[in-house]
Structures are given as C-alpha cells and as structure tokens.
C-alpha cells in the first residue's frame, strides 16, 4: 500500500523566546494565510512550557500547530517541576518532542526513558517527535548506524502506528553548529531509519514521517528537504524568526508533492 506522508516543518524554540516573542507566531500565521500555497504541509512550533497555552490560543484558526519540548512519562504525581503529556494535551498541543539530544545529554535520558515518554504522548493523544542522532565521535568511529539503530529500536513505544509518531534524525554535531552532513550521508541515515521502522512496524513503517534536524536554514533547506525519506525538518535557531521559519517551509512550494508522497 502506498503511503502519503505530509511533510512536517516543526520549530523547536528550546529555552528561548518570551511572551513578547509569541508575536513571531502571529507573523508566521500571517505569512501562511494563503492556504492554497501551504495545504500540502504541516507546520508546528514548540515554545517553552509556560507559553504553550498562550501559543495554542494564538494558533487557533491558523496553519500552525503547537508542540511541547518534553513531557514526563507519568500522567500525574509527585514530580516537582515536570509536566505530563495529559497537561500538554490540555494546553492545546498536537506534538511533543521526546529524546532531544539536549535532554539525552543534559538530563541523562536513556532510550527507556524516551520510550516511556513517547508512550505517555500516545496515551494522551499527542504525537511524539522522537529524536535520534549520533555524536561526532560516534560518526568518526563509523558507528552512526549502530547508534541510530539502537535509539530507534529502544525509543519507539509499544502501540506506535505509522501516522501516530514522528522520528527526527538530528546528528548531535550538526545541532546549533552551522554544520550539516552531506546529502549522501543524510540519505543513507534516513533510508536506514526507514528500514528499521519497517522491521518494527511492517508496511506501516512507510507512513512514519522522518524529519531531518541540525542547522536547517532557508539557504540549505531546499537541498535537505529534497532528499529521499526526508519528510520535513525539526528546526532550532531558525525557527525563532518568522521570516527564517517561513523561508524553510517555503521550499515545499517548489518540491513537487509527487516526489515526497
């Protein structure tokens, strides 16, 4: 069965932005007002947790969905400072990023923890964007596919369906550095991930959107998004300004849907 994958361009604001910066959301929405030009892709912005509710309210009636950057695995309990997937859902979010490399590194999140968080997202009816990616040392040691394969195998929740999850390949050394892998390297990893997803989900693995993330900007987005099995982007720095974010999304105006379907 042929699967149609709608590209997703998602912005990860990390611990950036402010109440005032939510004005960028309005600018993005205004830039997307001509629905006919944008109807073949999905767009999302993931601001810090305190702004989710405001961002969701601001996104109503626009082409932009709102996502969170992390969630706890439990629905509620004595977890001071944490936010559950259910709370994220109630805040109007459609997505939650889990297993971002900054969480894996700075908060020692293992594949088991990431998988539990992804399962919590499914439980709450929120689509998890599950991040995987190798470090520079792992790439230099020729271990990229081993690392990414283990992360995909270990981080996918039980009950995952092709359309219910998103995977983001983000080489750690490409995040916030201005460096990107070659098109050939991106293609090889995305094809490998597709194969792992098919092993796990059968033909449903073809329905999973695999985003590329790591120093995506308007100037390199066209090349990256045209690569086979790249179904969109997870954008950090360049998602903070409406102009850059729209510039990245705009590459899908020139990529024929038949090439990514």
Which position among 125, 159, 176, 257 is part of the footprint of ligand PGA (CB under 6 A)?
176
Which position among 99, 171, 213, 232 is part of the footprint of ligand PGA (CB under 6 A)?
213
Is 24 annotated in the active site? no
Binding segment (CB under 6 A) for ligand PGA, from list 57-65, 136-144, 168-176, 223-231? 168-176
Q: Is 16 in the site for ligand PGA (CB under 6 A)?
A: no
Nearer to ligand PGA, 201 or 238 (CB): 238
Minimal distance, residue 110 CB to ligand PGA, in Å:
19
Which position among 175, 193, 210, 242 is part of the footprint of ligand PGA (CB under 6 A)?
175
Question: Distance between CA 77 and CA 64 in Å, rounded?
Answer: 31
Q: Please pick, among 24, 170, 190, 196, the residue that the annotation labels catalytic.
A: 170
Distance of CA 68 to the CA centre of its chain: 10
Which is nearest to 12 in space by CA: 237, 183, 249? 237
State the number of binding residues for ligand PGA (CB under 6 A). 13
In three-state form (DSSP H/G/I as H, E/B as E, the rest C), the secondary structure along the chain is CCCCCCCEEEEECCCCCCCHHHHHHHHHHHHCCCHHHHCCCEEEEECCHHHHHHHHHHHCCCCEEEEECCCECCCCCCCCCCCEHHHHHHCCCCEEEECCHHHHHHCCCCHHHHHHHHHHHHHHCCEEEEEECCCHHHHHCCCHHHHHHHHHHHHCCCCCCCCCCEEEECCHHHCCCCCCCCHHHHHHHHHHHHHHHHHHHHHHHHHCEEEEECCCCHHHHHHHHCCCCCCEEEECHHHCCHHHHHHHHHHHHCCCHHHHC
Nearer to ligand PGA, 32 or 238 (CB): 238
Q: Is 234 in the site for ligand PGA (CB under 6 A)?
A: yes
Minimal distance, residue 105 CB to ligand PGA, in Å:
11
Is 170 annotated in the active site? yes
Which position among 42, 134, 138, 170 is part of the footprint of ligand PGA (CB under 6 A)?
170
Binding segment (CB under 6 A) for ligand PGA, from list 58-66, 144-152, 154-162, 212-220? 212-220
Binding segment (CB under 6 A) for ligand PGA, from list 16-24, 33-41, 73-81, 236-244? 236-244
Minimal distance, residue 242 CB to ligand PGA, in Å:
15
Burial of 112 (C-beta count, 10 Å sphere; 0-12/13-18/19+): exposed
Q: Is 70 in the site for ligand PGA (CB under 6 A)?
A: no
- DSSP β-bridge partners for residue 11: 45, 235
Minimal distance, residue 107 CB to ligand PGA, in Å:
14
Minimal distance, residue 101 CB to ligand PGA, in Å:
7
Binding site for ligand PGA (CB under 6 A): 12, 170, 175-176, 213-216, 234-238
Catalytic residues: 100, 170
């Amino acid at each position: 069965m042929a699967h149609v994958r709608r590209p997703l361009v998602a912005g990860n604001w990390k611990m950036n932005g402010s109440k005032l910066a939510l004005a960028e959301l309005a600018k993005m929405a205004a830039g997307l007002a001509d629905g006919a030009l944008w109807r073949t892709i999905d767009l999302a912005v993931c601001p810090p947790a305190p702004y989710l509710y405001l961002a969701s309210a601001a996104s109503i009636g626009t082409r932009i969905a709102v996502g969170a950057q992390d969630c706890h695995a439990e629905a509620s309990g004595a977890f001071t400072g944490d936010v559950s997937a259910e709370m994220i859902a109630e805040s109007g979010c459609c997505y939650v990023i889990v297993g971002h490399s900054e969480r894996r590194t700075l908060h020692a999140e293992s594949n088991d923890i990431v998988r539990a968080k992804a399962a919590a997202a499914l439980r709450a009816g929120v689509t998890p964007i599950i991040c995987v990616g190798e470090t520079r040392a792992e790439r230099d040691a020729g271990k990229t596919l081993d690392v990414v394969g283990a992360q995909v195998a270990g981080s996918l929740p039980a009950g995952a369906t092709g359309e219910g999850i998103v995977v983001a390949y983000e080489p750690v050394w490409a995040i916030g550095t201005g460096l990107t892998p070659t098109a050939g390297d991106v293609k090889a990893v995305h094809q490998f991930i597709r194969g792992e997803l098919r092993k796990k989900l059968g033909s449903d693995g073809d329905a999973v959107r695999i985003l590329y993330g790591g120093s995506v900007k308007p100037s390199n987005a066209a090349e990256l998004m045209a690569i086979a099995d790249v179904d969109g982007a997870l954008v950090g720095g360049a998602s903070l300004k409406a102009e850059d974010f729209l510039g990245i999304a705009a590459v899908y105006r020139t990529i024929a849907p038949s090439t990514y379907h």
